[in-house]
Amino acid sequence: MQRNQYVGVGLKSAALLFCFLGAHFPAHAQSRPQNASAGNAQKGKDAFATHMCATCHGPEGQGAVGPALAPPPRALPDFTRYVRQPAGKMPPFTPQAVSDTDLADIYAFLQSANPAPPSNLSSLTGNAQNGGRIYVADGCYQCHGRVGQGSQSTAAPRIGPPALTIDAFARYIHAPTGNMPPYTNKVVSDQDVADIYAFLKSLPPAPAAKDIPLLNQ
Amino acid sequence: MVRKSKKGSPKASIDRRAFLKSAAVGAAALAANPTTSRAQQIEARNAPPPPLPAEAEIGTPAKLDVLTETRSGSDFMVDVIKSLGIEYVCSNPGSSFRGLHESVINYGGNKNPEFITCCHEESSAAMAHGYAKIEGKPLAILAHGTVGLQHASMAIYNAWCDRVPIYIIVGNILDATKRIGAVEWSHSVQDAAVMVRDYVKWDDTPASLPHFAESAVRAYKIAMTPPTLPVLLVADAELQENPIPDNLAVHIPKLGQFTPPEGDSAAIAEAARMLVNAQNPVLLADRLGRTPAGMKNLVDLAEALQAPVISRPGRMNFPSRHPLNQTDRANALIREADVILGLEMSDFWGNVNSFRDQMRRTSETLIKPGTKLISINSDDLYTKSNYQDFDRFPEVDLAIAADGETTLPALTEAVKRLLTDDKRRAGEARGAQLAKVHQQTLARDREAAAVAWDASPISTARLCAELWNQIKDRDWSLVSTTPFISNWPQRLWNMDKHYHYIGTQGGYGIGYGAPSAVGAALANRKYGRLSVNIQCDGDLMYAPGVLWTAAHHQIPLLSVMHNNRGYHQEVMQVQIMADRRNRGIDRATIGTTITTPNIEYAKLAQSMGMYGEGPITDPKDLGPALKRALEVVNRGEPAVVDVLTQPR
């Protein structure tokens, strides 16, 4: 009869708002982001140290207290957005604290620090309809909501559409660094991941809050 | 019948049970006969008492048999209860307190206290829990000392964990020679309170009416002194039912004024020094808002310091749209903080550490080296051992054992005395930055609410936005918890009154939601407040009879079902285990969902005599449905709108 109110531990532990799918960079992400950075890797290495990123993420972005960032699991725009407004326990860095140029340089450094091995996931064609079915059958919606909207109750971030690259997405599913339960290849195959990813990509964009009167009162 | 002494001489007092006892003698004789079969014995136990001999009913008694009384012990008990200002007694009727029941409704005029009929003792206790969170004082519950208290125990535990006062009175027949038959023997106990002694603050078994009066007043004072907690009194049936002896002096002790414990002045001065000298002070509050003063006092402190406030869901601690409310940025703020003040924290450790629930459970600190922790917590004044609701030991630098909201004014004054112009300017700059971030957070929350706006099942964000649209111009009170719905009310609504939110269950025992909402609505009724309850489906099914209580007593309450058709928390728990064991999760719904058949909550409500509508599946239909239900609630009645929702 007595129940844990939240997955794993009580949400009264603020620390739970951390490390669910997509909330954080995976610890062993080894995929190449889909965009290339125009930044300067050497300057980025210096900036990475100067701004004390290395304190949590290790001097080569290999991960320490915080997750590994090399190679970066997100495209540069998402990477920048996350640094400005982190969803987990990372403190936010304003443009005054770390400029966009610095972030592009850091991104280039992280790309060069640990090049990603080749992956066959990006070669798979995802079936969005089947992905929607698997998304429900495998219980993704239990924490992330039916359209991947995420939930503060479950500490699951929004994943529709996914911010991660498909490789980072797959690696997090298989070996999450936070509280999300691991879905191994036996349970969710590469094709399943590709289908789920396609489903999440296929979701229509959310309406803007400013266009919804009920959200402006 | 006149009670006999050992020598058979008449005794002046009335023995309420002797009459029935003699009537049951036939059955007792049957049971005592060793040659009687077990089946016969059982039959005899269950049979009604045999009729009295004809002469006993129509004949003239040999001696005068006093059969009525004019003033009984339970009348005096009601006088005592009235003296404490207790407005209601919530109860499922039971024979072990029939005397008290009758005194409440007749002698006491069924007013202050009024008898509220409950269908389950767990509902009685949880109603008391919800009521106290609004009213700031306990109502009483009456229950059997055995089977009733057993039913009530989980709800009492919730109140214990939530530091909420409940005034429990249980009936019992201590004197074994006064018990009739199997029922009364089964409903009697040597030590009624032992079952819940680990989670009540104080209990007593009075042996006389003066003893009852003294213990009743003492119990109230103990319950209401922070940490406020449940208390229990055993009202012996003999004391209740027998007349007040003519020569017995009964007196109701004076309750008098009593003040909550305030923190030590030297410790307050030290806390103020630490906070004023901090670069990044953070105020964390959980069960702080015990009364309306809690929120006001925290606003005063936060504004004096221009410090961010993180309000945990234990109480309504801080206005949701105050620019210093930074609850959504809790982790980032805690990591940056150099001084953190924890106010009535249920789990301070859990707020400054993270925990990972994988095969190997790990934790890590969130705070940086050198960060100082200050605690003001009435829990430090009273702790028990067995149940582990005290949470992990926090390594606090300065612990002030005192009531939080009572101590805050002195702390705020001490802070103001220490503020130099430089400190004040630094605070203003910090406050301006926090105000900007607050607006960004609100905008981000609204964007997040828009994501599944048109989804079906209906998103919890849409549900809360539609509800807010209906109530925002009223004097309203949210009488349910919010962590199961992603805390959308705190993120989307303008909440700035003590009664705008009543906090969580305390012990996370499910079945709390519906009855606590009805109890809180009962408290809100006299103020004309609109009570709204976002009701989880699994929770309601523990004891849905409380809907009948709301209808019967005309307690206005709008309940909007958060119907995700499952014990959703447990779906995820089983999912975690299945994933860990690599077995797939397609069977995780077994034992955790409430489908096949789906429960029709609108019909359930209708069957209890109240308005019910739904299930609503299309978000476009929700607003009009809520409006229709509110028209019913405006007439002073309860209503239920069933909404098929997303999980969280």
Concatenate the DSSP letters of all residues of B171-211 into one string: EE---GGG--HHHHHHT--S-GGGGGGGGSSEEE--SSHHH
56-115 of A, contacting B, C-beta below 8 A: 65, 85-86, 88-92
157-176 of A, contacting B, C-beta below 8 A: 158, 160
Chain A touched by B55 (CB under 8 Å):
no
> Are A145 and B572 inside 8 Å of each other by CB?
no
Q: What angle do CA B293, B299, B305 make, to 5 degrees?
A: 135
| pLDDT score at B44 | 46
Reported residue count of chain A is 217
Name the pairing type of β-strands B231-236 and B202-204: parallel
Peptide bond into B394 cis (omega under 30): no
Mean pLDDT of B631-648: 97
Residues of A in contact with B126 (CB under 8 A): none
Peptide bond into B457 cis (omega under 30): yes
For residue B645, the Cα-to-chain-centroid distance in whole angstroms is 26
Residues of B in contact with A150 (CB under 8 A): 448, 451
Chain B touched by A2 (CB under 8 Å):
yes
Rounded to the nearest angstrom, the minimum Cα separation between A145 and chain B is 7
Chain B touched by A138 (CB under 8 Å):
yes
Closest CA to B549 of B131, B169, B174: B131
CA distances (Å), origin B283, targets B115, B310, B319, B342, B414: 42, 6, 14, 6, 16
> Testing the interface with A: which of B466, B574, B579 to mutate, by most A Cβ within 10 A?
B579
B233: helix, coil or strand? strand
Structure tokens at B68: 């009525």
298-357 of B, contacting A, C-beta below 8 A: 310, 312-314, 330-332, 334-336, 346-347, 350-351, 353-357
pLDDT at B183 over 90: yes
Confidence band (pLDDT; 50, 70, 90) for B51?
low
A18: nearest CA in chain B? Answer: B354
pLDDT at B214 over 90: yes
Q: Is the dihedral of CA B511, B515, B516, B517 positive or negative?
A: positive
> Are B335 and A91 inside 8 Å of each other by CB?
yes
Q: Which residues pair with A153 in a beta bridge?
A: none
| pLDDT score at B92 | 98
Confidence band (pLDDT; 50, 70, 90) for B4?
very low
Amino acid at A9: V
Rounded Cα distance, A109 and B335, in Å: 26
Cβ-based contacts under 8 A for chains A and B:
208
Name the pairing type of β-strands B353-356 and B362-365: antiparallel
pLDDT at B37 over 60: no
Residue with tokens 């125009």: A38
Cβ atoms of B644 and B458 within 8 Å: the answer is yes
Rounded to the nearest angstrom, the minimum Cα separation between A78 and chain B is 16
Of A65, A137, A152, the CB nearest to B487: A152
- pLDDT one-digit tens code per residue, B373-427: 999 999 999 999 999 999 999 999 999 999 999 999 999 999 999 999 999 999 9
Cβ atoms of B562 and B643 within 8 Å: the answer is yes
R_g of chain B, CA atoms, integer Å: 28
Structure tokens at B253: 């002790």
pLDDT at B614 over 80: yes
| pLDDT score at A164 | 87
pLDDT at B139 over 50: yes
Residues 6+ apart with CB under 8 A from A204: none
Rounded Cα distance, A116 and A110, in Å: 11
Mean pLDDT of B616-624: 98
**From B27-41, B121-135, B338-352, B426-440, the region with the lowest mean pLDDT:** B27-41
> Are A147 and B312 inside 8 Å of each other by CB?
no
Residues of B in contact with A17 (CB under 8 A): 330-331
Closest CA to A8 of B572, B350, B588, B347: B572
pLDDT at B42 over 60: no
| pLDDT score at B316 | 98
- In whole numbers, what is the pLDDT of chain B averaged over residues? 92
Residues 6+ apart with CB under 8 A from A1: B154, B509, B510, B511
Dihedral-angle region of residue B625 (phi above 0 means left; psi in -120 to 50 means alpha; beta otherwise): alpha
Rounded to the nearest angstrom, the minimum Cα separation between A142 and chain B is 6
Residues of A in contact with B570 (CB under 8 A): 3
pTM score, two decimals? 0.85
DSSP string, B317-353: -S-TT-TTB-GGGHHHHHHH-SEEEEES-S-HHHHSE
Instruction: Please give chain A's pLDDT, 217 residues, in tens.
Output: 333 333 333 333 323 323 333 333 333 333 334 444 578 888 998 888 888 887 778 778 877 667 778 878 777 888 888 888 776 657 778 888 889 999 999 988 888 877 666 678 878 899 999 999 999 999 999 999 999 999 999 989 999 999 888 988 998 899 888 889 999 989 999 999 999 999 999 999 999 999 999 999 9
Of B332, B357, B585, the CB nearest to A86: B332
pLDDT at B6 over 70: no
B505: nearest CA in chain A? Answer: A5
Rounded to the nearest angstrom, the minimum Cα separation between B363 and chain A is 9
Higher pLDDT, B3 or A56: A56
Chain B touched by A150 (CB under 8 Å):
yes
Rounded Cα distance, B247 and B233, in Å: 25
| pLDDT score at B314 | 96
| pLDDT score at B22 | 41
| pLDDT score at B62 | 61
> Are B334 and A14 inside 8 Å of each other by CB?
yes
Chain A touched by B508 (CB under 8 Å):
yes
| pLDDT score at A87 | 65
R_g of chain A, CA atoms, integer Å: 18
| pLDDT score at B439 | 96
Residues of A in contact with B443 (CB under 8 A): 209
| pLDDT score at A203 | 95
Percent of chain B with pLDDT over 70: 90
Chain A touched by B20 (CB under 8 Å):
no
Percent of chain B with pLDDT over 90: 85
Burial category of B483 from C-beta neighbours within 10 Å (exposed 0-12, middle 13-18, buried 19 and up): buried
Amino acid at B154: M
